[in-house]
Every structure is written in C-alpha cells, then in structure tokens.
Amino acid sequence: MSVPPLTVTAPQLRPPHRYIAIEGPIGVGKTTLATLLAERWSMRTLFERPQDNPFLERFYRDTTRHALATQLSFALQRASQTQEAADIVTSGAALMTDFVTQKSELFARLTLPDDEFQLYREVASRVRSSGPAPELVVYLQASPEVLFSRIQKRALPMELQISDSYLRALCDAYNEFFYHYDATPLLTVNAEHLNPLASDDDLALLVERIESMRGRKEFFVKGVSV
C-alpha cells in the first residue's frame, strides 16, 4: 500500500494587531515598511496619497503662500480615508496604514500662522469623520541629515524642493508630537542605523520587537535594550 506524500505548508502569519499605523517624517521610509509588514501579515493597506493633493508641489516651492490650501486639501483626504479605514476594520480585515489622522493638525500647526490655523481647525472639524484608532503606532525616527540623504537618493522631483529649514522643523514637530502622544500604544524606532527596507536581518529584528511588545510606550534602538 503506497503512502501519499506528505505535504507541508507554511503556517499563515497572523498580524500581531488588527490595525497598525507606521508614522514618521518624509523620507524615513514609512510607506515601504508598511508595505513589507502588510505583505508579511496579509493585511489590507491604506496609504496617504500626496500625489492627489494639487497644491503640494507649489507648497514645497513656496510654503507660506500655499500652506492653507495644501492643509485643507489634506484634511478632506484624511476625512475620506478615515471612513475607508472604518469600513475595512468593520469588515474584519486587518489594516496597515502609513499615517495617523492626528498628523493633519501637526502639519497645519507647523505651516500656518495663528489666524489661518484657527480657520483650518474650524473647517477640519466640520469635515472630520470618526474612525477606529490603531492598536499600535510605530514611529520611525531619524535625524534631518539622514532624511535629507534618503530624499536625495530617491530623487523624486517634488521632494527635492524641500528646504533644509522645513525638514528640520518637521523633525522637531514630529518628535514633540510623539513625545506627548498617548492615544494608542506607541513603539518609537530609531531608524538611524536600522534599515529594515534594505536588510532582512533588520526587518526580522523589528518584526520581533513589534510582535513581542507588551507595554504602552516602548523604544527600539538597534543593539540596545530600552
């Protein structure tokens, strides 16, 4: 009697959380990392669409003149995406995003004078929709010098117009925002020497840290226990 061959299939990798958001300043690699993690854990993705903002390229050329229009356009996009996220999570699917909704106000506060910021908040409050909060936020942190180098390397024409002063202010704003952030569990990852986008070993380290995280707020620095 012949014995049928044994078929071994790889176990399905289940996501450690049903809703994960990857965040960080421009150039830090959040969208690429979110894509890698979503593929690993078979999660749906919902990403920012900066290319859909008709004012963004003009904003990078002249931040003062085009800031309000840029931020209002993003507020409308974020309201739509919040509803998309709610629909995905309600359907029972696991979700990976490359943003948290609160970032809209972070950018508005950074780029708008007080009177325009108040106008922005008034308009944003009228279009804002409620949605589920991530079960985990991963904040990728890097210095302006590292971000500038990565932006230059990927050489997207619109991003090459970003000024050094704006990039430095953005890093400061992100660090301040996540220093006080307590809306959800938060894993802050120092991305200076950790490059999960180019190194499978680094990706494995980060995956292990995400899957083993139990605290409300933790820090991950490669080679250091924090």
On whether residue 67 sits in a domain, the answer given is yes
Q: Which two tokens stand for residue 119?
A: 């106008």
Q: How far apart are CA 72 and CA 192, in angstroms?
A: 32
As annotated, the binding site includes: 24-32, 150-154
CATH number, domain with residue 28: 3.40.50.300
Determine phi and psi for 191, rounding to 5 degrees: -100, 15
Binding site for ATP: which residues? 24-32, 150-154
- Looking at this protein, which amino acid is placed at residue 120? Y
Sheet holding 19-23, edge to edge: 44-46, 95-97, 19-23, 136-141, 186-190, 217-220
pLDDT in tens, 144-169: 999 998 888 887 777 878 888 999 99
Q: Is residue 2 part of a domain?
A: no
pTM above 0.85, yes or no: yes
If one counts every other C-beta atom within 10 angstroms of the C-beta of residue 23, the result is: 26
User: How is residue 118 written in tokens?
Assistant: 């108040």
CA 124 → CA 19, 127, 165, distances in Å?
24, 5, 27
Is residue 143 in a domain? yes
Confirm whether 98 is a catalytic residue. Answer: yes
Structural domain includes residue 215 = yes
Place of tokens 């948290």: 100
Examine the pLDDT at 226 and tell me if it is beyond 70.
no
Q: Determine the length of the chain.
A: 226
Classify residue 14: in a domain, yes or no. no
- Which of the following is catalytic: 62, 87, 98, 202? 98
The answer to whether residue 136 is domain-embedded is: yes
Beta bridge partners of 137: 21, 186
Total domains in the chain come to 1
Among 126-135, 156-165, 217-226, top mean pLDDT goes to 126-135
**Domain housing 180:** 19-220
Q: What are the DSSP E strand ranges found in 94-159?
A: 95-97, 136-141
- Does the residue 7 lie in any domain? no
SS3 134: coil
